[in-house]
Copies of this chain bind each other. A is one copy, B any other.
Amino acid sequence: MMTHFRIGAAMALALVATAGYAQTDPNAVAQIPTTAFKPVATATSPDKSLVVTIAFDNDGRPTYAVARKGKAILNPGKLGVMFTDAPKIERNLELIGKSTDSSDSSWTQPFGEWKTIRDRHNELTLRFREKAGLKREMDVVFRIFDDGIGFRYNFPDQPNLHQANISDELTEFAFAQNGTAWWKPAYQWNREEYLYNKTSLDAVSTAQTVMTVKLADGTHAALHEAALVDYAAMNLARSEGNTLKASLTPGAGAPKVTRMAPFASPWRTVILSDDAPGLYMSHLELNLNEPNKLGDVSWIKPAKFVGVWWNMIKGDWSWATGPIHGATTANVKKYIDFAAANRIPGVLVEGWNVGWDGDWFGNGNAMQFDQPTPDFDAAELYRYARAKGVHLVGHNETGGSASHYDSQLDRAFSYARDHGIPVVKTGYVTDAGQIERVDADGTKKREWHEGQWMVNHYLRVVQTAAKYKVGIDSHEPVKDTGLRRTYPNWLAREGGRGMEYNSWPGKNPPNHEANMFFTQWLGGPMDFTPGVLSLEGQGGSAILSTEAKQLALYVVIYSPVQMAADTPENYAKHMNAFQFIRDVPVDWSETRVLNGEVGEYVTVARKDRAGDDWYLGSITNEEPRTLNVALDFLDAGRSYTAEVYRDGAGADYRTSARHSIAIEKRVVKKGDTLSLALAPGGGQAIRFAATGQARRR
């Protein structure tokens, strides 16, 4: 029985009079035409192309809708929150306050893809209150940019909402059109490391964000969140048709989120663009994060690195001590020599510390983050590296034992500081939902990588590291929601299928990077570890890429800590191509996405922040293609020597010709057009060396 609430507004009002009912049809939303929504507020983007309309349905449920260039993009979607211990805030609300604001300012990234970021938006804040019952109040704050929107919930402290125990959010994203979606599933065993699905939007199950959609009319949309702090990460569960609903990551048998009011949710974000490149060019995510809270961050030095790693991934060396232990003093010195000889500042060493022996997967309680193994001479390596102008990159693998790591954070980062280690790569290798949390009373719990407790843990690690002037490169992390603006020492993350997958069976397919660029990489820098020029994984198995594509990835992928992942021995066989890896910087003053389609191809141009050189990277999927690019991005009035690393004769990721690479130089200037011929699974990398400028490195 549904009660006659479902009889629609008019009848219900009649009944209010006659029979004292206050509510209308709980089903109404699903049934009545949009015209039955009562608009109460609208806001537009600075350029007026986006219009957000807030309306009530017949049950007093606030909804929001988004139109772009006069076309409906999002139909009215619900807003609200459910609690474990109180009625949800959703129905029977009234609008009791409305305020607007606008901003047009610029700020500087200490390092990044762009030096200057413009933040131009209009803001609309709505305060809703329950008409009856608990009369709780909830704000919804919208920020409307020319290239998308963000909105968040804001809960003032109030007698009937002091501690919020949130069971889930009711937020909907009700696309007005079907389309094609690129997404990876949520709540599976693996920690975010999936290939992206390409399905019809109305065939999505439950997706992680970033999820990217190309709508029927060609509009591109990216759904994500910004400033994920002290809250559970949001996933997207499709309810029906093209409507997705927020699904917060669970906690260990607790409310998904517990907060004391006042507090705000993360921003729910929708980037909108005419094309795929426009998604990447948006600054919306960074603009919705708080400014730098660390003060002077000049101690953070973006840098490339090599390391004791690929041999373990291939299975030739081990993390554990024993006959094939990788992190020996002798091995590390070889890497230091190689780094120094090639002007690569960093050397990562994995498996250097006590705790790897035995079954550490999902159990890192033996890990000691300041105790090297006997065959790793920390003092000597510190001395040796410093003498050669190289630093070590630290590595703290927790095996998912997050509380155990918490108990050693100060030891771990003071060890790093005392050994000249400016950045530490962390790891949480355990199945999803299997992070070990141990409370003060000794109670053990199992948490998800993206639940509220872990969201707080990852940030705790970053904040503690900052005290010691150490940067963090999180692997098996929570997704990136732009917090590097607020905590610049959160340098990069993994959280996706990186190069390692090219060592094992089930290698990354040629379209992988073109998928990642327009999905996960919209969230922030990824430590993908490109540059395996040997193009060989475990047992000599072939990587599905050309050699030139490996070089192109250094421009396509943004990361302030970019690895040259192959071994010195392998690079020695490819020194001509390796020259590009030596030259390419990791910090940029300008970035332009020149072309691209999700999962097909992309071409990116970036300008060295430390000089006048420009760099270009272009990659394709399994399809060969020729892309003509206008060099309009080059500075006017000067010439450049284009050092071109392109797929050579017959290059093809399916054959040994994957190594076919042509390297040539030509002089170009702004306004010229280049034709980029990309092989199957191929790519092209170009350094535009500003003439008259000395090679910096």
A residues in contact (CB < 8 Å) with B: 1-8, 11, 14-15, 18-23, 25-28, 30-32, 82-88, 90-91, 132-133, 165, 167-168, 170, 185, 187-190, 193, 197, 199-200, 202-206, 237-240, 247, 250, 252-255, 312-315, 318-320, 322-324, 350, 357-359, 361-363, 397, 427, 429, 431, 433-434, 443-446, 475-476, 494, 498, 500-501, 503-506, 538-539
Q: Does B185 lie within 8 Å of A11, measured CB to CB?
A: no
CA distance in complex: A193, B433 (Å): 32
A-B contact pairs, 8 of them (CB 8 A): A2-B429, A4-B314, A4-B503, A85-B446, A165-B253, A168-B433, A197-B240, A203-B203
- Which residue in B15, B132, B255 is a CB contact (below 8 Å) of A315? B15
- Which residue in B14, B193, B322 is a CB contact (below 8 Å) of A2? B193
Q: Does B86 lie within 8 Å of A444, measured CB to CB?
A: yes
- Which residue in B20, B205, B237 is a CB contact (below 8 Å) of A240? B205
Q: Does A18 lie within 8 Å of B361, measured CB to CB?
A: no
Q: Does A188 lie within 8 Å of B239, measured CB to CB?
A: yes
- Which residue in B85, B237, B247 is a CB contact (below 8 Å) of A445? B85
- Which residue in B19, B203, B320, B501 is a CB contact (below 8 Å) of A320? B19
Q: Which residues of B contact A501 (CB under 8 A)?
A: 2, 6
Q: Which residues of B contact A500 (CB under 8 A)?
A: 1-2, 6
Q: Does B26 lie within 8 Å of A189, measured CB to CB?
A: yes
Q: Which residues of B contact A238 (CB under 8 A)?
A: 205-206
A489 to chain B, nearest CB (A): 20
Contacts A167-B433, A505-B6 given; does A253 touch B255 at CB 8 Å: yes
CA distance in complex: A319, B253 (Å): 39
- Which residue in B11, B83, B443 is a CB contact (below 8 Å) of A539? B11
Q: Which residue of B lies closest to A312 (CB)?
A: B4
Q: Which residues of B contact A3 (CB under 8 A)?
A: 319, 361, 429
Q: Does A444 lie within 8 Å of B85, measured CB to CB?
A: yes
Q: Does B433 lie within 8 Å of A88, measured CB to CB?
A: yes
Contacts A26-B190, A85-B443, A188-B239 given; does A206 touch B205 at CB 8 Å: yes
The 8 A-B residue pairs with the shortest CB-CB distance, nearest first, are: A84-B253, A31-B506, A19-B318, A203-B203, A205-B238, A253-B255, A6-B504, A22-B359
Q: Which residues of B contact A189 (CB under 8 A)?
A: 26, 90, 170
Q: Which residues of B contact A28 (CB under 8 A)?
A: 505
Q: Does B206 lie within 8 Å of A203, measured CB to CB?
A: no
Q: Does B85 lie within 8 Å of A4, measured CB to CB?
A: no
Q: Which residues of B contact A21 (CB under 8 A)?
A: 318, 320, 359
Q: Does A239 lie within 8 Å of B504, measured CB to CB?
A: no
- Which residue in B14, B170, B427 is a CB contact (below 8 Å) of A1? B427
Q: Which residue of B lies closest to A27 (CB)?
A: B506
Q: Does B32 lie within 8 Å of A446, measured CB to CB?
A: no
Q: Which residue of B lies closest to A362 (CB)?
A: B87
- Which residue in B88, B254, B313 is a CB contact (below 8 Å) of A4? B313
Q: Which residues of B contact A85 (CB under 8 A)?
A: 252-253, 443-446
Q: Which residue of B lies closest to A84 (CB)?
A: B253
Q: Does B1 lie within 8 Å of A504, measured CB to CB?
A: no
Q: Does A315 lie within 8 Å of B7, measured CB to CB?
A: yes
